[in-house]
Structures are given as structure tokens and as C-alpha cells.
Amino acid sequence: MRPTLIVGSIAFDTLHIQGKSHLKVLGGAATYASIAAAHFCPVQLVGVVGRDFPDSAVHLLRERGVDLAGLEIADGETFHWEGRYSEDLSSRETIRTDLNVFADFRPKIPETFRTAPFVMLGNMDPTLQIEVLDQVDKPRFVLADTMNLWIDIRHAELMTLLKRIDLLVVNDAEARQLSGHGNLVRAARELHAQGPKTVIIKKGEHGALLFQGEEIFSLPALPLHGVADPTGAGDTFAGALIGYLARANDLSGPSLRKAVVYGSVLASFCVEGISTERLTSATPADVHRRFEHFRQLTAF
């Protein structure tokens, strides 16, 4: 089966959620994306951790079919991010970001990963995202994520990156900031003009919009009884989406729409547990059931 190459942060997260603190749980954009994509296809992960990264986390990834030939273990501590969520979980503040070994990360793509047809560039410095593209062999499909920090301080590099990707996945605030348009339809059009043929704008608990030229697909998020931890939902969405595309080996409009549904299905599992707990425990039958649930939810 066609593998997906995923590059990005691997982290320990300290989370303060609804009066409880979860210290140094497994996190990172590439971690969430890899576990989500591995529900659909083989995954090749490139990232860096410190000597403190536990064997249990390595096993968790390996067990799920994630190839760790590109996992660099550097002297020092693993990237650590700490955040606190608002009571209703609709927003969060970053309390600290200890880059640690991630500060000097220069992605080195192993020889065996360079022909991966599907590539996901997780949120990181766009200079590094470009370095990844310089090392791979004409992938069929490239997805990139980013964040407000890079839109602020690496704008030119981000514009160069946009010319080299097929799909940009951003949230609504990032789409507005990057495009300079408050209206999301105009924002997507402007982002198309900068390069990517497909743009997805995530709107958190309000779902996601898929833009392909003049075509728009809108999917709500699954209304859930309880959300335990929203961390990583966006990375999970993107990982599942590209994992599904790799498995289907189909980049048509209908296939992309299905990929958005699978992304939303896996994101719904992600937020139901702390860290990667529920994302890891979801079975293929659970995924299938929730996919059908989406069908009922949106049929009229």
C-alpha cells in the first residue's frame, strides 16, 4: 500500500483542562497525524525527540504501523508544550513552549522515505517544510499545515511553500490572517491564487470547508456528548485525511470529500480522550460506524 510521509513536532504536552492537569502526556502535531493516518495506510514519520522520550511511546507508534526510521533521538529533552483551556474548551492559551531538541531540528528524510507519494508537512517553520520538499522525489500529493506564528515571522517563506503544495489546511483565523480577507470564500480564493489547488478551512466545533476551485463542500463537526481534550484535533484531521487519500489512491473531488469526512471522524475520536488515548483505541468498526453516522447527520 502507498505510504504517507509525515514530518513535524513530536512532543510532551502539559494540559490544564476543566480543573485537571495532565503532565507531560504524549503530543505533537506529527504524533497525532501519524496515529490518525495509520488507521488508513502505512506511515513514515520524521521528527526529533530527546533521550527522555519513553520506549512506551515508541512502541505505541511502531505497533500501529508507523515506520520510525526517520525518528531522530538527540541529546537533550523532547519538545514540551503547555496549554490551558477555557472552561467551555472553545479557546486555549499557551503557557509555555520549550522547544528543546526541536529548536535545532533539520529534517533528514531517510533514503527509503524519499519516494513516498503522499507527504504531510506538519506545522513547523516553513523553511523546514521547504527543506523536506527539497529532499523528496516528486510526491503525488503534498499537504501542509501552518500557524499564526509563521504567518507573522516567515511570511515570504510561507508564500514560497504555497507554490509547492497541493493542499493547505488552516483554521479560519489563519486563513483570514494569511489571505488578508475576512470573508472565508474570498480568503480561500486568494489562497488558491497563491498556489494550492485545494484549501481546507477548519472551524473547530463548527466543522470544515473544502474549496476546490469554485466547488465548496461543507461538513459540520460531529456533535459529541463530551469533549475531554481538544488538543491535536487539527493534526488528527489532516493525518486521517491524507491517510485516506493514500489508501484510496484517488484525488478526485468525491474522494476529497470522503477524506474530509474521515478526517472529521478521527478528530471526533481524538477529542474524546486525553492525549492520543481515544485516537489509539478506536477500532476500524468504530471508524466505520462514525462515518455512517456522518452520513445520517448530513442527509436531507
Binding stretches for ligand AMP (CB under 6 A): 9, 11, 13, 27-29, 81, 97, 123-124, 231-235
Least Å from the CB of residue 186 to ligand AMP: 24
Q: Which is nearer to ligand AMP, 133 or 248 (CB)?
A: 133
Q: Which is nearer to ligand AMP, 5 or 170 (CB)?
A: 170
Q: Which is nearer to ligand AMP, 4 or 275 (CB)?
A: 275
Left, alpha or beta for 18 (phi > 0: left; psi -120 to 50: alpha)? left
Q: Which is nearer to ligand AMP, 97 or 194 (CB)?
A: 97
Least Å from the CB of residue 300 to ligand AMP: 30
d(Cα 186, Cα 29) in Å, to the nearest integer?
Answer: 28
Q: Which is nearer to ligand AMP, 117 or 232 (CB)?
A: 232
Least Å from the CB of residue 11 to ligand AMP: 3
Q: What is the arrangement of strands in the sheet containing 167-171, beginning at the earlier edge strand?
A: 66-74, 43-50, 4-7, 118-121, 141-145, 167-171, 198-202, 208-212, 215-219
Least Å from the CB of residue 160 to ligand AMP: 19
Least Å from the CB of residue 13 to ligand AMP: 5
Q: Which is nearer to ligand AMP, 238 or 248 (CB)?
A: 238
Q: How would you write the chain as a 3-class SS string?
A: CCCEEEECCCEEEEEEECCEEEEEEEECHHHHHHHHHCCCCCEEEEEEEECCCCHHHHHHHHHCCEEEEEEEEECCCCEEEEEEECCCCCCEEEEEEECHHHHHCCCCCCHHHCCCCEEEECCCCHHHHHHHHHHCCCCCEEEEECCHHHHHHCHHHHHHHHCCCCEEEEEHHHHHHHHCCCCHHHHHHHHHHHCCCEEEEECHHHCEEEEECCEEEEECCCCCCCCCCCCCHHHHHHHHHHHHHHHHCCCCHHHHHHHHHHHHHHHHHHCCCCCCHHHHHCCHHHHHHHHHHHHHHHCC
Least Å from the CB of residue 100 to ligand AMP: 12
Q: Which is nearer to ligand AMP, 117 or 243 (CB)?
A: 243
Name the residue number minimizing CB distance to ligand AMP.
Answer: 27
Least Å from the CB of residue 47 to ligand AMP: 10
Least Å from the CB of residue 231 to ligand AMP: 5
Q: Which is nearer to ligand AMP, 28 or 117 (CB)?
A: 28
d(Cα 236, Cα 291) in Å, to the nearest integer?
Answer: 15
